[in-house]
Amino acid sequence: MTFQKFRFRFSHLSLCAAGLALVLAPALSPAQNTAPAAGMTPSAPAGITAVGELATVPAPSLTAKAWLTLDANSGQIIASQNPDESVEPASLTKLMSAYLVFEALESKRLTLDQPVTVSEKAWRTEGSRMFIKPGSQVTVDELLQGVIVQSGNDATVALAEAVAGSEDAFAALMNQEAAKQGLRDTHFVNSTGLPDPAHLTTVRDLAIMSKNLVTRFPQYLHYYSQKEYTYNKIKQNNRNRLLWTDPTVDGLKTGHTQSAGYCLVATALRDGRRVVSVIVGAASDSARSENSLKLLNWSFQNFDTIKLFDNDKPAVNARVWEGQSETVGLGTPTATWVTVPRGKGPQVKPVAQYTQPLIAPLKAGAKVGTVSLSLDGKLLRQDPLFVLNDVPEAGFFGRIYDKVRLLFQ
């Protein structure tokens, strides 16, 4: 991965100069100011652009109903086709089911060695199976391998019941989590992905869901790279062929029904950079694997993901009035990464827009504006700007002095 170091010099604009900024960036209210570094454009275009549109090497030609590739470090969509078309997720549904199980494990509502009694309903669930027996006790760890490695519908229902009491209640939790994650076009009816007219999603939502899973629960990713699992003396292979094809691939989930076609969410980690690809509606098992590998290779080979700033490296040092300090760093509490066509990192143009004047006291974590990142005149991403450090109020005379100075700005 290519790491570029950028030095940003954001100049403080006076209130008079803010008038010019408002002409250039009419979306700003009079209480905001634009602070670009030297040589940076004073405004960013509206609308986020998929970075793949700026690449000189076009996306590969794929045979699938819908597809998408996303950089998990930056969260940016690199390229897509039909990203918001309603599709059946089939067993890709189990990504959300596993997410809720992982969440239950982290909150100590479940433990990996906890035995779960298999219900008649779980045992009777049709489709792919782990071959658990009704009335038997199976640990959460074993059931997770049944869900993730073997794609067992019976194991999925057993875990759903362990988390929520019933599969219907679990489906309600799935929809609640989908809303929390901003999956606007996703609705779950069951935990397994068995066909239902109302059980729908999009490749955009699947990509977001998958990115959230791998970034929040890396401690459980080993299940997704497990190539086989034997239970009840029955060995089943992971259906993700890429685990054998490419050693950098470590997940994530296959899906298939007659109506959904062959689907695959794949992810690979190369030199610290993670990419997620989503393929839905391929014609065959081999087609979904080949298409996914093409997408992953294209995404890694033709794009860089670079870190611009974080809690220790502010996006802008802003002027503070009536405070014990004259400046404060504005930035993001976590690292801000941006994905760009290979070699284009130095051409990224950041523009900070923040409330002016900033008057103490200021609390760390207070949101005061946004920072936009653009390339070739196209907006790649926009993030909120937060105050990175507390700035206490100055003494009486210091405040009066700044009040007078503000009158002449």
When pLDDT is cut at 50, 70 and 90, the band that residue 33 belongs to is very low
Reduced 3-state DSSP string for 236-298: EECCCCHHHHCCCEEEEEEEEECCCEEEEEEEEEECCEEEEEEEEEECCHHHHHHHHHHHHHH
In a domain, 8, yes or no: no
Question: 259 and 325 share a domain?
Answer: no
When pLDDT is cut at 50, 70 and 90, the band that residue 312 belongs to is confident
Question: 324 and 243 share a domain?
Answer: no
Question: 41 and 86 share a domain?
Answer: no
pTM of the model: 0.85
Looking at 301, 322, 350, the residue that finishes a domain is 301
Range of the domain at 343: 15-50+306-407
In a domain, 5, yes or no: no
Question: 297 and 312 share a domain?
Answer: no
In a domain, 252, yes or no: yes
Question: 252 and 324 share a domain?
Answer: no
Question: 379 and 279 share a domain?
Answer: no
In a domain, 381, yes or no: yes
- CATH number for the domain spanning 106: value is 3.40.710.10
- CATH number for the domain spanning 22: value is 2.60.410.10
Q: What average pLDDT does range 43-68 have in this prediction?
A: 86
Q: Would you say residue 136 has pLDDT above 60?
A: yes
In a domain, 29, yes or no: yes
CA distance 127 to 38: 61
Q: Which two tokens stand for residue 130?
A: 């782990």
Question: 38 and 145 share a domain?
Answer: no
In a domain, 359, yes or no: yes
Question: 131 and 24 share a domain?
Answer: no
pLDDT at 224: 98
End-to-end CA gap in the chain: 45
In a domain, 39, yes or no: yes
Could you identify the residue written with the tokens 């298999």? Answer: 118
Q: Would you say residue 8 has pLDDT above 50?
A: no
Q: Which two tokens stand for residue 326?
A: 């004259």
In a domain, 55, yes or no: no
**Alpha-carbon 349 to chain mean position:** 23
Q: Would you say residue 6 has pLDDT above 70?
A: no
Q: Would you say residue 167 has pLDDT above 50?
A: yes
Q: Which of 22-31, 58-67, 143-152, 339-348 has the lowest mean pLDDT?
A: 22-31
Question: 83 and 42 share a domain?
Answer: no
When pLDDT is cut at 50, 70 and 90, the band that residue 408 belongs to is confident
Question: 138 and 258 share a domain?
Answer: yes
Q: What is the mean pLDDT of the chain?
A: 89
What percent of the chain has pLDDT above 70? 89
Question: 25 and 138 share a domain?
Answer: no
pLDDT at 256: 97
Looking at 285, 301, 317, the residue that finishes a domain is 301
Q: Would you say residue 201 has pLDDT above 60?
A: yes
Tens of pLDDT, residues 240-252: 999 999 999 999 9
Question: 279 and 165 share a domain?
Answer: yes
What percent of the chain has pLDDT above 90? 83
Q: Which residue has the higher pLDDT, 170 or 47?
A: 170
Looking at 260, 282, 301, the residue that finishes a domain is 301
Name the residue among 170, 169, 158, 151 with its Cα closest to residue 91: 151
Tens of pLDDT, residues 110-133: 999 999 999 999 999 999 999 999
Q: Structurally, how many domains does the chain consist of? A: 2
295 contacts 273 by C-beta, under 8 angstroms: no
The catalytic site residues sit at: 91, 94, 151
Give whichever of 17-21, 41-45, 58-62, 404-408 has the largest mean pLDDT.
58-62
When pLDDT is cut at 50, 70 and 90, the band that residue 310 belongs to is confident
